[in-house]
């Protein structure tokens, strides 16, 4: 990469992205500049374009918004403004721009790149720069990162800032639900999203809202009657509150606005319900960034620098984005054009096409919400005569209840009788099983822990009793939601099929554990909530040292032998080191870490953070590391330790866990229905499923949701330590070290390659991209 790099935020963005670009840029030995106040600062020049150091981006991870400011700029829209901006960049040798913004900002950046050589020629003609400068700075490379809380940019599953905005919305919804329940009220919540309904849709999915209005999917003619009937039915089922979510840009099928006040007046006039309106406004833009956003922004920032390193004059301007769990690079203008196509489709009333253009993630969210929000009359439901049981196994994880709710409601919609098993396989053996209805799971999405109750007991010692209960209750399929124990349990049932025909039924495992140690999936339900709890605590601990000079904190996280929480928590909290079982360490490395922190204390950053996974090493315990750091750092820094413990398992589920749990559970139940049809033997009048692919774990792998036979996952599993043999997040470990100023090599083999934006095909939808 020739020339310096400039970081330019033009919109609400994440400081984690700014920090990652600066530190990765310095790591590859480039000069890095801040452009204060967006394009305006680039045009004005002077003190608005400043070279930055490693320490310039210290302590900004936990700060919302952008520390280098952002402003709208009319002058950059003129050629004269762009000419001045080009002059200011050339004066500092800047030929690489990392722009963080929305489609307008990124379109402006692309135009600037296209005009660059012409702008330099004009500056040379005016005598402002010489011919040598024209040759030396002949090309401008641009990489975009999308910073937008609306998640309105095509080509990426999540824009930087969206998850944090969802956190703010869900915090408000959870708080409102308690008061609404007390007073039997209806609440109409207006959320941001002038042209995109993502925030409204996902928050409706995450809180189980009764109705949602979004611009991409206007309600049908006569929606007023349908909505009022549904609200009345819910009240008749003893539901004490109603939540209606309205995107600020919501419209009807005639493109006329639907406002929160209009919805409130309708409910009051037609039903006489006590109704309140809450407009969240700019609350959604503020607050502390979520763990997901910090990790996403850090990954995208590093990816942006790698893209600039590899850029050539022939490379089109690109945006780095997220597809499933994979970083990808897409041509900037293809994404912008598709984003503009969505608005055009909505303006022309082509709403089905608009939803498809938004991408597979948006469409899946919408389909899942429609499936779960409205119960068809019993007369319209199919009758399959199949009984499906749902149970939780292992330690509780936030989001389990959302998964149970989705399973029950989709199962009922598919025509099955749904049964809930209390207290896992132990409860199953004792006959603690009951039928569960649509209304029984109302309000479950926001509840932490496990309402059904869960035990770590494996089925091996109860096989006969469990088989007996399955026969007695005529259970035709099982959905098991839990961690490593759930996976092991289903393996045991699979292996016991030769002795017990009752286990020859479709069985699906949904990974749900804070440890994220289940083979066959990149993410588990509950891990995001635990990660947020860790990061929030780390922020507070770091803040406690702001008035105390030179202090290092040793923090122990859970996770068994899996270092996911320690590693990702360290990345999201800006830690100096993370000790994990998967990467063995010795006394020399501990000594090197102490020396690294000693050097750090000589700078203006006078505090340190070290995370340790609970089982990373049986001899180097948290106490040992604390005592070592205390002794070796004597006179330079003092030490404190903190064991986070079970607070990582508690709390309300994060928006990601509610959404992820809901969507994978709905998909799993549809798979169970398909398997029941395939394995039903008409002659015998019963289900007989004895193939490997009838006992599957549904996991997210890179970009897709995949059903994998548990028998095949055995080879991928380290049963002694209860972890997968290969774990995707270990590739992010060097990233954490680089951002903490360690010299290490970074594997670029997994970095994104330039792809093209394409509308997903029906086949892609079947593979289950989330």
**pLDDT tens for residues 120-171?**
999 999 999 999 999 999 999 999 999 888 888 888 888 999 999 999 999 9
Distance CA 594, CA 589 (A): 9
User: In sequence order, what DSSP letters do the residues of 326-361 get, joined into one string?
Assistant: EEEEEEHHHHHHHHHHHHHHHHTT-HHHHHHHH-HH
Name the average pLDDT for the chain: 91
Residues belonging to the binding site are: 72-73, 102-105, 148-150, 185, 192-194, 248, 276, 282-285, 456, 513-517, 551, 558-560, 614, 640, 646-649, 722
- Whether 245 and 280 have beta carbons less than 8 Å apart is answered as no
By C-alpha distance, which of 186, 216, 187 is closest to 199? 216
Is a pLDDT exceeding 60 seen at residue 476? Answer: yes
- Whether 206 and 652 have beta carbons less than 8 Å apart is answered as no
Distance CA 627, CA 638 (A): 10
Tell me the three state secondary structure of residue 718.
strand
Tell me the three state secondary structure of residue 764.
helix
Q: Where does residue 131 rank: exposed (0-12), middle (13-18), buried (19+ CB within 10 A)?
A: exposed
> Which residue has 């909530």 as its token pair?
529
Residues belonging to the binding site for beta-D-fructose 2,6-bisphosphate are: 456, 513-517, 551, 558-560, 614, 640, 646-649, 722
What's the pLDDT at 770? 46
Phi, psi (degrees; rounded to nearest 5) at 688: -140, 100
Length of the chain: 770
Residues belonging to the binding site for ATP are: 72-73, 102-105
Residues belonging to the binding site for Mg(2+) are: 103
- Give 620's pLDDT tier (boundaries 50, 70, 90): very high
When pLDDT is averaged across residues 238-262 and rounded to a whole number, the result is: 91
Catalytic residue check, 174: no
- Whether 491 and 710 have beta carbons less than 8 Å apart is answered as yes
What's the pLDDT at 769? 40
User: In sequence order, what DSSP letters do the residues of 294-317 get, joined into one string?
Assistant: HHHHHHHHHHHHHHHHH--TTSPP
**pLDDT tens for residues 711-746?**
999 999 999 999 999 999 999 999 999 999 888 776
- Whether 319 and 146 have beta carbons less than 8 Å apart is answered as yes
Catalytic residue, candidates 150, 163, 210, 293: 150
What's the pLDDT at 548? 67
Distance CA 166, CA 290 (A): 9
User: In sequence order, what DSSP letters do the residues of 231-259 get, joined into one string?
Assistant: HHHHHHTT---EEEEEETT-B-TTS-B--
Is a pLDDT exceeding 90 seen at residue 94? Answer: yes
Cα 31 off chain centre by: 32
Q: Which residue has the higher pLDDT, 323 or 731?
A: 731
Distance CA 19, CA 305 (A): 12
Q: pTM for the whole thing?
A: 0.93
Among the ranges 17-21, 222-226, 322-326, 479-483, which has the highest mean pLDDT value?
Answer: 479-483
Distance CA 659, CA 406 (A): 10
- Give 287's pLDDT tier (boundaries 50, 70, 90): confident
Distance CA 625, CA 317 (A): 47
**pLDDT tens for residues 431-441?**
999 999 998 99
Is a pLDDT exceeding 50 seen at residue 663? Answer: yes
Distance CA 15, CA 715 (A): 41
Distance CA 548, CA 699 (A): 45
**What long-range pairs does 685-688 form, CB within 8 A, spacing at least 24?**
687/386, 687/476, 687/477, 687/504, 687/505, 687/506, 688/501, 688/504
What's the pLDDT at 703? 78
Q: Which residue has the higher pLDDT, 127 or 375?
A: 127
Q: Which residue has the higher pLDDT, 755 or 283?
A: 283
Residues belonging to the binding site for substrate are: 148-150, 185, 192-194, 248, 276, 282-285
Q: Residue 63 corresponds to which tokens in the numbers above?
A: 């700060």
- Give 758's pLDDT tier (boundaries 50, 70, 90): low
Distance CA 410, CA 505 (A): 19
Angle at 663 between CA 409 and CA 201, to 5 degrees: 95
By C-alpha distance, which of 408, 490, 402 is closest to 696? 490
What's the pLDDT at 286? 81
When pLDDT is averaged across residues 1-20 and rounded to a whole number, the result is: 78
């Amino acid at each position: 990469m020739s020339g310096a790099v400039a970081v330019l935020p033009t919109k609400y963005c994440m400081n984690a992205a700014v920090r990652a670009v600066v530190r990765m840029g310095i790591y590859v030995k480039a000069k890095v500049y801040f452009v204060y106040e967006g394009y305006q600062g680039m045009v004005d020049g002077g003190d608005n374009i400043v070279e930055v150091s490693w320490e310039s981006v210290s302590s900004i991870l936990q700060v919302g918004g952008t520390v280098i400011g952002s402003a709208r700029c009319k002058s950059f829209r003129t050629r004269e403004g762009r000419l001045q901006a080009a002059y200011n960049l050339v004066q500092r040798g800047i030929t690489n721009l990392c722009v963080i913004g929305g489609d307008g900002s990124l379109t402006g950046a692309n135009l600037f790149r296209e005009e660059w050589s012409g702008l330099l020629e004009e500056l040379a003609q005016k005598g402002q720069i010489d011919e040598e400068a024209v040759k030396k700075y002949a090309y401008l490379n641009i990489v975009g990162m999308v910073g937008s809380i609306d998640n309105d940019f095509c080509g990426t599953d999540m824009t930087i800032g969206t998850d944090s905005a969802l956190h703010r919305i869900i915090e408000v919804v959870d708080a409102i639900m308690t008061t609404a329940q007390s007073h039997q009220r209806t609440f109409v919540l207006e959320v941001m999203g002038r042209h995109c309904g993502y925030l409204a849709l996902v928050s409706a999915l995450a809180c189980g809202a009764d109705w949602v209005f979004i611009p991409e999917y206007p309600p049908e003619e006569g929606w007023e009657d349908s909505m009022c009937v549904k609200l009345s039915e819910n009240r008749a089922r003893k539901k004490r509150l109603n939540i209606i979510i309205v995107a600020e840009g919501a419209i009807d099928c005639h493109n006329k606005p639907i406002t929160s006040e209009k919805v409130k007046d309708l409910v009051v006039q037609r039903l006489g319900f006590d109704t309140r309106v809450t407009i969240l406004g700019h609350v959604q833009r503020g607050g502390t960034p979520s763990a997901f956003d910090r990790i996403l922004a850090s990954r995208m920032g590093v990816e942006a620098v790698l893209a600039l390193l590899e850029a050539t004059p022939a490379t089109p301007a690109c945006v780095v984005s997220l597809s499933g769990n994979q970083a990808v690079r897409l041509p900037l203008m293809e994404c912008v054009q598709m984003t503009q196509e969505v608005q055009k489709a909505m303006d022309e009333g082509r709403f089905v096409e608009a939803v498809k253009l938004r991408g597979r993630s948006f469409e899946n969210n919408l389909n899942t919400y429609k499936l779960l929000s409205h119960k068809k009359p019993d007369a319209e439901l199919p009758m399959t005569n199949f009984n499906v049981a749902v149970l939780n196994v292992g330690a509780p994880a936030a989001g389990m209840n959302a998964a149970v709710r989705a399973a029950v409601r989709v199962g009922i919609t598919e025509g099955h009788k749904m049964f809930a098993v209390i207290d896992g396989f132990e409860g199953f053996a004792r006959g603690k099983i009951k039928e569960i209805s649509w209304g029984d799971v109302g309000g479950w999405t926001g509840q932490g822990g496990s309402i059904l109750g869960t035990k770590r007991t494996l089925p091996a010692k109860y096989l006969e009793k469990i088989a007996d209960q399955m026969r007695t209750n005529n259970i035709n399929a099982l959905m098991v939601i839990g961690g490593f124990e759930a996976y092991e349990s289903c393996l045991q049932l699979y292996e016991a099929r030769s002795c017990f025909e009752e286990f020859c039924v479709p069985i699906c495992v949904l990974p749900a554990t804070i440890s994220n140690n289940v083979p066959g999936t990149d993410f588990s339900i509950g891990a995001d909530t635990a990660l947020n709890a860790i990061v929030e605590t780390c922020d507070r601990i770091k803040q406690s040292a702001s008035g105390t000079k030179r202090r290092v904190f040793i923090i122990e996280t859970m996770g068994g032998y899996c270092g996911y929480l320690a590693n990702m928590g360290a990345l999201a909290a800006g830690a100096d080191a993370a000790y994990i079982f998967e990467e063995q360490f010795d006394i020399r490395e501990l000594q090197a870490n102490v020396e690294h922190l000693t050097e750090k204390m000589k700078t203006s950053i006078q505090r340190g953070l070290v995370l340790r996974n609970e089982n990373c090493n049986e001899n180097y315990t948290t106490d040992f590391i604390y005592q070592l750091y205390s002794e070796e750092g004597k006179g330079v820094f003092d030490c404190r330790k903190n064991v986070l413990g079970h607070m990582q398992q508690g709390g309300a589920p994060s928006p990601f866990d509610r959404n992820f749990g809901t969507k994978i559970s709905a998909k799993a139940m549809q798979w169970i229905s398909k398997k029941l049809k395939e394995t039903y033997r008409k002659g015998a009048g019963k289900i007989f499923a004895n193939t490997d692919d009838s006992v599957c774990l549904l996991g997210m792998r890179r970009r897709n949701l995949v059903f994998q036979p548990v028998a095949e996952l055995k080879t991928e599993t380290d049963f002694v330590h209860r972890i997968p043999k290969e774990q995707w997040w270990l590739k992010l470990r060097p990233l954490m070290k680089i951002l903490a100023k360690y010299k290490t090599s970074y594997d670029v083999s997994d970095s994104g390659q330039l792809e093209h934006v394409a509308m997903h095909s029906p086949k892609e939808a079947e593979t289950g991209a989330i």
